[in-house]
Amino acid sequence: MSYFWLSFNLLATLATPITLGTNVTKVNDRASNQIQCIMQQQHQRYKLSYLPWRRAKHEVKQQRIDGYFTAVPDPEITQYASLSAPLFLENWYWFSRNNQDQPAPTKIRYGAVLGSHQADWFHANGYQLDVEVNTLAQLVQLLALQRIDMMLADQEDFVLMQASLKLPQQQFKRRFFRYVALGVYFSNNFLQRQPDFLTRFNQQVHQCASSPFALPENEQQKITALLLPAVTDLRQHDMLITAIQARNDLQQSIGFIQQHDELWVTEQDQQKSGLADTMLTSTLSKMLGQWQLNFAGIVTEVIVTDNQGANVAISAATSDYWQGDEAKFLSIFAQPRTFYLGPVEYDQSSRRFLTHLSMPVLHQQQHIGTIIVGINIEQALTERN
């Protein structure tokens, strides 16, 4: 993966070039393209240079440069720098050999790429690294040769390197560990001088994202195996179908729904929840809340909508009333599968990685509404492991 640094001339205007650097020759396309887009949107010129990752971190701490990326959340760094919204996500897995018995925990030989985020994680969490090498290719080869027992890597990076080295896929086994959000650390000293910079930067991150982070196929299979049967049963509940039919019979106009949605969103923004609280008192909402408790933190919310995407019942207060303009409602109409599993979303406030599973609610083979289930991905994948 790529590691960058940012150097700002604090006395200059935004027209002055910012120096961006990396310690690898091939810049990660996702990061470099997104930074290029953000800087263009802010009319900020920049140029590339090189600086080792650990030195960049030290230089920020000493206030000699003003930021670096890509960076993982680090409690130590928060004392002198602030992390931006994520530029993209990594998907960390444990990798080991398939034909090898697992050694006792105290006997496992771990390896990492020198200076990588994974190496920093090992050191921060008290693991002894038996081997640190310069490249991912070297590390994967050591695992194949049984010189190490286990390594930690982004799943996509590992699979691509394994294919590049022409190593058979069945030679390795993998186990989900965690998702990791990668952003930019800006020094607090710089942000004090440019107090609106981080807000403007974060606003552009989402707009400049190349594409949503789709769940890999193996993770989709695990999550649907865990939840799809239960959601399928829930959508057939008589109470749920009756409530949706009663709402559809009202034939509310889109104009009415959008006005209700605006009021709902305004209340949530003002930390008032009159409309949401009223809906939460319904019998169906209480039943959804009880159903959610069965999943011990894996399910974060359950929403039942009418045929236009307006909330009929909820297990917890939602950010909006109308789901009808969102992919989790619209996408179930545009695919051959009987369900829709959305991309990974990062909740900045709770630092959780979420997705949504949606299914149509049917009555006499007619699509009368939708059930939408929010999922804590890391909880779900850890449960399966």
Looking at residue 16, its pLDDT comes to 64
Tell me how far apart the alpha carbons of residues 70 and 62 are, in angstroms, rounded to a whole number.
Answer: 19
Q: What is the pLDDT, as a whole number, of residue 122?
A: 94
DSSP for 89-146?
Answer: EEEEEEEEETTSPPPPGGGPPEEEETT-HHHHHHHHTTPPEEEEES-HHHHHHHHHTT
Pairing of strands 67-71, 4-7: antiparallel
Residue position matching structure tokens 């959610």? 292
pLDDT value at position 1? 46
Residue type, 380: A
Position 203 confidence tier, pLDDT thresholds 50, 70, 90: confident
Q: Answer yes or no: is pLDDT of 333 > 60.
A: yes
**Has residue 13 got a pLDDT over 50?**
no
What pLDDT score does 243 carry?
98
Cα–Cα distance for residue pair 121/4, rounded to 1 Å: 18
Task: Write down the residue that tokens 């799943």 correspond to.
Answer: 155
Report the pLDDT value the prediction gives residue 45, as an integer from 0 to 100: 75
pTM of the model: 0.79
Predicted confidence at residue 9, as pLDDT, reads: 44
Asked if residue 111 lies in contact with residue 139, where contact means CB atoms within 8 angstroms, the answer is yes
By mean pLDDT, which of 28-37, 79-88, 108-117, 221-230 is the weakest?
Answer: 28-37
**pLDDT tens-digit series, residues 67-77:** 887 778 888 88
Output the CATH code of domain 89-177. 3.40.190.10
Q: What's the rounded mean pLDDT across residues 274-278? A: 92
Structure tokens at 27: 């810049």
DSSP strand pairing (46-49 vs 18-22): parallel
Q: Contact at 8 Å (CB) between 280 and 218?
A: no
Name the least confident of 68-82, 96-110, 175-189.
68-82
- Tokens, residue 264: 């709902």
Class for domain 16-87+180-202, per CATH?
Answer: alpha beta
Q: What is the CA radius of gyration of the chain?
A: 24
CA distances from 90 to 54, 71, 381 (A): 20, 11, 15
Q: Would you identify the CATH topology of the domain 215-379? A: Beta-Lactamase (3.30.450)
State the DSSP code for 325: T
**Two domains, one topology: 16-87+180-202 and 215-379:** no
The domain segmentation of the chain, as residue ranges, is: 16-87+180-202, 89-177, 215-379
